[in-house]
């Protein structure tokens, strides 16, 4: 019953979409910790919780950046009803999910070699593709592809089922909606 009430009102869409992405980043962090279980097992349970707690701030920051474009499109669509934002937000979400899932899979293995998380360092190797290929040759590509694919598909299904904009209805004045979320 609670879910039905939320889904019916478009005013709840933006906070739920934001939580969708925060949830993605938290699951990605859990995948990272499980993939590196040997190092994770050396952490205390308190330290493991702190990884999630301190990471939440970064997750919220990254989520805010990811949500900027869809929320801007939703604002414009609220003021200009002919603009159909549903398809744009869905396509944007799919593309970003796949891209982030591939980066997650790459980060899993690169951390094993480098000892630090993925940053701008791979850009330094773009002019030496042979060194990049040598690093990739030893990676468990099937496992990493499986992680990227399963993460992407799982979150696309979750988005379609729970967070797709087409499930939300604007019950209020569009000017009020635009004012609340501008």
Q: For the segment 22-62, what is each residue's pLDDT rounded down to a tens digit?
A: 999 999 999 999 998 888 889 899 999 999 999 999 999 99
Tens of pLDDT, residues 55-95: 999 999 999 999 999 999 988 887 887 888 899 999 999 99
Note the pTM of the prediction, 2 decimals. 0.78
Contacts of 55 (CB under 8 A, 6+ apart): 25, 26, 29
**Predicted confidence band at 110 (pLDDT cuts at 50, 70, 90)?**
confident
**Predicted confidence band at 128 (pLDDT cuts at 50, 70, 90)?**
low
DSSP assignments along 48-90, one per residue:
HHHHHHHHHHHHHHHHHHHHHHHHHHHHHHHHSTTS-HHHHHH
**Predicted confidence band at 176 (pLDDT cuts at 50, 70, 90)?**
low
For residue 6, what pLDDT is reported?
A: 45
């Amino acid at each position: 019953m609670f879910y039905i009430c939320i889904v019916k009102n478009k005013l709840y869409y933006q906070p739920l979409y934001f939580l969708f992405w925060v949830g993605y980043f938290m699951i990605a962090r859990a995948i990272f910790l499980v993939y590196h279980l040997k190092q994770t097992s050396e952490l205390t349970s308190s330290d493991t919780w702190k990884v999630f707690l301190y990471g939440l701030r970064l997750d919220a920051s990254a989520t805010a950046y990811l949500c900027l474009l869809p929320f801007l499109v939703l604002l414009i669509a609220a003021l200009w009803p002919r603009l159909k934002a549903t398809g744009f937000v869905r396509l944007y979400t799919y593309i970003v999910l796949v891209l982030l899932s591939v980066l997650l899979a790459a980060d899993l293995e690169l951390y094993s070699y480098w000892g630090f998380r993925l940053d701008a360092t791979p850009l330094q190797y773009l002019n030496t593709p042979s060194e990049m290929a040598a690093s990739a040759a030893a990676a468990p590509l099937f496992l990493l592809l499986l992680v990227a694919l399963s993460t992407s598909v799982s979150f696309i299904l979750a988005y379609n089922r729970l967070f797709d904009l087409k499930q939300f209805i604007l019950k209020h004045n569009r000017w009020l909606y635009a004012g609340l979320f501008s």
